[in-house]
Chains A and B, each alone.
Chain A
Amino acid sequence: MKIIKTLLVLTVIISFAFVCVHKYYVSITKIEYVKEQKSVQIITRIFIDDFEKLLKERYDDKIILASNLDETQIDNHIKKYLLSRLNININGKESVIKFIGKEYDGDVVQCYLEIEAVENIKSFTIKNSVLYDMFTEQKNIVRTDINSKHKSFILIPENDKGMLNF
């Protein structure tokens, strides 16, 4: 078999006339601090096909997402994976993130996570390395809405941390 410059070719022709294949590797994470609920609400949107590829490679080759079958086991994998790839530090302390669940929205998996009992936020640091282990050109966009301030980060493997001070 011929050896192929997978990475190069992937980067070059990330793009096709495809109707259903998205052309770039990106996830979007929305983080909102709801002070009344003392809650940091996190919604992460990841393309189903990217995520499926990762879960297959990491956990089980038989995994099919959105198959209409019971996904309890898949949810466990997703929980384990996301919690290992998402680190949030509030006021200098590592936060405990709770995985609430996921749902499908078109070609996207929407994952819900929460940090509870957050009295106030003076500093906020996020590290998001979701899918970096799968796609070198993965970009993770993080949008925060904390203390009525909106901020947007684009995290890449070489720079996977975003920091905010209030």
Chain B
Amino acid sequence: MNNIKYYVLSAFFVTVGVFAQQDQEKKEPQQGHTNQNKFKQLYDEFSTPNMYRAASGAPGVAYYQQQADYKMDLVLDDVNAKLSGFETITYTNNSPDVLKYLWVQLDQNVRAKNSQSPLIEGSGVGPVSQVSTYANTYMAEGFDGGFNIEQVKGTNGKPLKHTINRTMMRVEMPKPLASGEKFSFSIKWWYNINDHVNGRGRSGYEYFKEDDNRAYVIAQFYPRMAVYNDVEGWQNSQFWGRDEFALPFGNFQVNITVPEDHILDGTGKLTNRKEVFSKDMMKRYEKAKKSYTEPVVIVTQDEVVEKIKTKSSKTKTWKLYAENVRDFGFATSRRYIWDMMAVKIGNKDVMAVSMYGKEGNPLWEDWSTKAVASTLKSYSRMTFDYPYHKAISVHAKQQGMEYPMICWNYGRPDKEGNYSDRTKFGMMSVIIHEVGHNFFPMIVNSDERQWTWMDEGLNTFVQYVAEQDFGKWYPAALSEGQSSYPSRRGPAKNITRYMGGDQDYIAPIMTKGLNTYQFGNNAYGKPGTALNILRETVMGPELFDYAFREYSQRWMFKHPTPEDFFRTMEDASAFDLDWYWRGWFYTTDYVDIGIKDVKKFYVTTKPNKAGSDIAKRYSLDEKELVYFVEDGSDEYTAGMKSESISEKSTPLKEYLMDNFSAQERAKMKEPKYFYSITFNKPGGLVMPIIVEYTYADGTNKMETYPAQIWRLNDKEVSKAISSDKEIVSITVDPKLETADVDASNNSWPKEVKQGDFDKFKNKVKN
């Protein structure tokens, strides 16, 4: 029954073809060019698959990764805000290579007095300055940060030759480390802990003047092994302050000595709980292990208020042991309130934990632990069951930073305990995001120093899914009038301002994190949205989710590269995505698809001029053909609109009688309206064209033309549409799901849309 449509349409295309040919004859001789097609395979961008990394995107047969195990004894000097440690690292060389030296990361050196980090930032002298800024910039001596490395020794007690190049330390081994061998050595160090609120930083302390106490959130505090792998060799790219970390997996045995009245939690299992918990805490902890809906408070606010009236001069040692983690972080203070709740993940229980000062309440006691539990469930569904035994959310001012099993999060009510929606959802979103980082990059351990988007982008994408779940599972967390969680990042329309913005300040996603403009949009917003669009609009959730889970599971507890991700998504879905990766990840192109022109035709047996010319040229009998006449053209006559072509055209009638049964003919449609629609693409990105056709009778139809429609012409494409009903309007991307940066060309007939300014002005007037 479609044949009739094709019959007339093929004639339709012939005309177009002839015109195109005539055009070409007039052109001057042209120069050649290389393949600039948006659908060109990514062979130039991707490295060749090998034994370490397979073409499927999975780890190859010879895939290896190094291991670094740590034993650490740490002492916190709360009076002087100083942390000292003695650590023994056991490094296992699983690579096929012989290593002469090891590289150790000294991240604290970014705060050393001789740090070069401030020197790479531009600055200038302004006409005016606040006195505090002036004093701190030009007069004060500055913070004495950075590692003091007291010794680096082998297990035999002999010093090892080592060289510090800013934030990296090369340790030379007595003899080269062969494949499969282990090497143990120890480092003794200390550093002054920074104030992370006034000095800003991912770790440090917040000082509370009212009770003269500090809350410490401590991370990248110990000399950490660098990654050695098949892609980078040693990943010893310097730490400048913004780009994050690359770390190998290992087991951590850490003893932390802090004032006796401190409460501490960190990465790993607490192995001496009975020594550090009071009887009451023990009882509450047992209760929390069985509480799946409400958190149980282990250390109450009243107890904290009482406790901070004095300071203990005694100490206590908390012992933690963690297996298969890439890093270690902890938080400690006598000011912490502590609550916990169990959450079922697969067939095991995980503890969702929160630590916060009283200034976090009532927000924190109400929502932190529930947000942690909800996040673990959502992420486990999208990736793999959360493999660790707990996840902690610690409240710290202005922080949002992640470590294995523990993270710091902002969101604080005012002194009276009131908070705005912005504070509330900011707090919930940052908790969901940072807890989500347990999956990317703590477990799916990508190289953050190199590719910020690999953890931030993937995490921002899953964060969006988890936020929507959280709104559904905890409707009480939403504010009045809201029916779903107000996610900031994820929806396509939220990224259009960035992507359509000034090209001078946009970098492709595939740019080293340190060198990007608009870090948040570049490494979080755009990749997160790109994946959301890929899931909801391009691939569909079913194909996407299977492939995304496959990637997560293939690279769980391993070190993936961008290509491993790109390849796996195609490998597991049979969805050709080279064009998508190329456009969204390797360029700064944006989406802008519009309707350039719509022409309406009627079909008739009356030959038109162009039709008869073609018939003559190809020696066809013009009576054997049908003709399309444009609405309103000179050849158009009033009767054409109501003409029934299958009645009037004898050749067509005969063709139908010869080729179709009476039954088939009865089912045939008789289209009356023919449209030639030209879509243009001012934007560089190729995307599917999602079109909504609205008919005169008020009904409408959605049609999606796959992105490949652009493969032969990147500027514009035409589509012939036949219909028995008249089309009254056409809209491209009606649900704003492609991140089209300019919607003013998306409709036919053209809608005159009010600009932002006039819209607002009218709103204010009314």
Chain A residues in the interface with B (C-beta under 8 A): 1-24, 32, 41, 43, 48, 62, 64-68, 100-101, 103, 106-107, 110, 112, 114, 132-133, 136-137, 141, 143, 152, 156-158
Indicate which residue in A9, A17, A20, A157 contacts B244 across the interface (CB closer than 8 Å): A17
Interface size on B (CB < 8 Å)?
68
Q: A4-B199, A20-B426, A21-B400 are in contact. Are A152 and B133 (CB under 8 A)?
A: no
Across-interface contacts of A66 in B (CB, < 8 A): 420-422
Please state if B198 and A4 are interface contacts (CB–CB under 8 Å).
yes
Please state if A19 and B524 are interface contacts (CB–CB under 8 Å).
yes
Indicate which residue in B241, B400, B430 contacts A13 across the interface (CB closer than 8 Å): B241
Across-interface contacts of B488 in A (CB, < 8 A): 20, 106-107
Q: With the chains together, A41 CA to B400 CA distance in Å?
A: 38
Q: A4-B142, A11-B123 are in contact. Are A132 and B128 (CB under 8 A)?
A: yes
Closest residue to A137 on the B side, CB-wise? Answer: B123
Q: Give 15 new A-B contacts, CB below 8 A, not counting A20-B410, A23-B518.
A: A2-B143, A5-B140, A7-B136, A8-B137, A9-B199, A9-B200, A17-B400, A18-B430, A66-B422, A67-B420, A101-B760, A136-B123, A136-B129, A157-B127, A158-B126
Please state if A4 and B126 are interface contacts (CB–CB under 8 Å).
no
Across-interface contacts of B399 in A (CB, < 8 A): 16, 18
Across-interface contacts of A110 in B (CB, < 8 A): 756, 760
Q: A13-B241, A16-B400, A48-B422 are in contact. Are A3 and B136 (CB under 8 A)?
A: yes
Q: With the chains together, A106 CA to B493 CA distance in Å?
A: 12
Please state if A112 and B761 are interface contacts (CB–CB under 8 Å).
yes
Q: With the chains together, A1 CA to B140 CA distance in Å?
A: 13
Q: With the chains together, A30 CA to B326 CA distance in Å?
A: 46
Please state if B400 and A5 are interface contacts (CB–CB under 8 Å).
no
**Which residues between 91 and 140 of chain B lie within 8 Å of chain A, taking CB atoms?**
110, 115, 117-118, 121, 123-130, 132-133, 135-137, 140
Interface of A is mostly: loop
Across-interface contacts of A10 in B (CB, < 8 A): 200
Kindly state whether residue B695 has any CB partner on chain A within 8 Å: no
**B564, chain A: closest CB distance, angstroms:** 22
Please state if B760 and A3 are interface contacts (CB–CB under 8 Å).
no
Please state if B136 and A100 are interface contacts (CB–CB under 8 Å).
no
Across-interface contacts of A21 in B (CB, < 8 A): 398, 400, 410, 520
Across-interface contacts of A65 in B (CB, < 8 A): 420, 422
Across-interface contacts of B140 in A (CB, < 8 A): 3-5
Indicate which residue in A5, A18, A132 contacts B136 across the interface (CB closer than 8 Å): A5
Please state if A19 and B429 are interface contacts (CB–CB under 8 Å).
yes
Please state if B520 and A22 are interface contacts (CB–CB under 8 Å).
yes
Please state if A32 and B198 are interface contacts (CB–CB under 8 Å).
no
B446-475 toward A: CB 8 Å interface, digit per residue (1/0)?
000000000010001001000000000000
Q: With the chains together, A65 CA to B194 CA distance in Å?
A: 30
Kindly state whether residue B201 has any CB partner on chain A within 8 Å: yes
- Sampled A-B contacts (28; CB under 8 Å): A2-B195, A3-B136, A4-B140, A5-B142, A5-B143, A6-B137, A7-B133, A8-B136, A8-B137, A8-B142, A9-B143, A13-B201, A15-B242, A16-B401, A17-B202, A17-B401, A17-B402, A20-B410, A23-B519, A32-B755, A62-B414, A65-B422, A106-B494, A107-B422, A112-B761, A132-B128, A141-B502, A157-B128
Please state if A158 and B199 are interface contacts (CB–CB under 8 Å).
no
Which 9 pairs from chain A and chain B are nearest by CB? A157-B126, A15-B242, A19-B433, A67-B420, A41-B757, A18-B400, A7-B137, A3-B140, A6-B136
Q: With the chains together, A114 CA to B133 CA distance in Å?
A: 34
Across-interface contacts of B434 in A (CB, < 8 A): 19
Closest residue to B244 on the A side, CB-wise? Answer: A17
Kindly state whether residue B207 has any CB partner on chain A within 8 Å: yes
Across-interface contacts of B402 in A (CB, < 8 A): 17
Q: With the chains together, A21 CA to B426 CA distance in Å?
A: 10
Across-interface contacts of A48 in B (CB, < 8 A): 422
Kindly state whether residue B61 has any CB partner on chain A within 8 Å: no
Q: A2-B143, A3-B141, A103-B760 are in contact. Are A20 and B400 (CB under 8 A)?
A: yes
Q: With the chains together, A114 CA to B762 CA distance in Å?
A: 13
Q: With the chains together, A11 CA to B434 CA distance in Å?
A: 24
Indicate which residue in B130, B142, B764 contacts A3 across the interface (CB closer than 8 Å): B142
Q: With the chains together, A133 CA to B110 CA distance in Å?
A: 28
**Which residues between 225 and 251 of chain B lie within 8 Å of chain A, taking CB atoms?**
241-242, 244
Across-interface contacts of A24 in B (CB, < 8 A): 518-519
Q: A4-B142, A5-B140 are in contact. Are A68 and B200 (CB under 8 A)?
A: no
Q: A8-B142, A133-B128 are in contact. Are A32 and B757 (CB under 8 A)?
A: yes
Indicate which residue in A1, A3, A132, A143 contacts B207 across the interface (CB closer than 8 Å): A1
Across-interface contacts of B414 in A (CB, < 8 A): 62, 64
Closest residue to A101 on the B side, CB-wise? Answer: B764
Q: A13-B200, A132-B126 are in contact. Are A4 and B143 (CB under 8 A)?
A: yes
Please state if B121 and A12 are interface contacts (CB–CB under 8 Å).
yes
**B487, chain A: closest CB distance, angstroms:** 10
**B524, chain A: closest CB distance, angstroms:** 7
Closest residue to A32 on the B side, CB-wise? Answer: B757
Please state if B430 and A20 are interface contacts (CB–CB under 8 Å).
yes
Across-interface contacts of B202 in A (CB, < 8 A): 16-17
Q: With the chains together, A158 CA to B518 CA distance in Å?
A: 22
Q: With the chains together, A12 CA to B422 CA distance in Å?
A: 27
Q: With the chains together, A8 CA to B463 CA distance in Å?
A: 33
Please state if A19 and B132 are interface contacts (CB–CB under 8 Å).
no
Q: With the chains together, A15 CA to B517 CA distance in Å?
A: 11
Most chain B CB within a 10 A radius of its CB, from A15, A20, A67, A136: A20
Closest residue to A157 on the B side, CB-wise? Answer: B126
Closest residue to A23 on the B side, CB-wise? Answer: B519
Please state if A11 and B430 are interface contacts (CB–CB under 8 Å).
no
**A33, chain B: closest CB distance, angstroms:** 12
Q: A20-B430, A66-B420, A66-B422 are in contact. Are A158 and B124 (CB under 8 A)?
A: yes
Q: With the chains together, A25 CA to B355 CA distance in Å?
A: 31
Across-interface contacts of B135 in A (CB, < 8 A): 3
**B645, chain A: closest CB distance, angstroms:** 48
Across-interface contacts of A18 in B (CB, < 8 A): 399-401, 430, 520
**A107, chain B: closest CB distance, angstroms:** 7
Q: A5-B142, A112-B757, A157-B127 are in contact. Are A20 and B429 (CB under 8 A)?
A: yes
**A76, chain B: closest CB distance, angstroms:** 15
**A28, chain B: closest CB distance, angstroms:** 8
Across-interface contacts of A41 in B (CB, < 8 A): 755, 757-758
Across-interface contacts of B141 in A (CB, < 8 A): 3
**B466, chain A: closest CB distance, angstroms:** 12
Please state if B142 and A15 are interface contacts (CB–CB under 8 Å).
no
Q: With the chains together, A30 CA to B531 CA distance in Å?
A: 30
Most chain B CB within a 10 A radius of its CB, from A7, A18, A21: A18
Please state if A112 and B760 are interface contacts (CB–CB under 8 Å).
yes
Q: With the chains together, A145 CA to B421 CA distance in Å?
A: 35
Q: With the chains together, A16 CA to B110 CA distance in Å?
A: 14
**A103, chain B: closest CB distance, angstroms:** 6
**A105, chain B: closest CB distance, angstroms:** 9
Q: With the chains together, A156 CA to B128 CA distance in Å?
A: 12
Q: With the chains together, A5 CA to B135 CA distance in Å?
A: 8
Q: With the chains together, A112 CA to B421 CA distance in Å?
A: 23
Across-interface contacts of B520 in A (CB, < 8 A): 18, 21-23
Most chain A CB within a 10 A radius of its CB, from B117, B129, B422: B422
Please state if A4 and B195 are interface contacts (CB–CB under 8 Å).
yes
**A27, chain B: closest CB distance, angstroms:** 13
**A46, chain B: closest CB distance, angstroms:** 14
B401-435 toward A: CB 8 Å interface, digit per residue (1/0)?
11000000010001000001110001001100110
Q: With the chains together, A65 CA to B140 CA distance in Å?
A: 34
Closest residue to A18 on the B side, CB-wise? Answer: B400
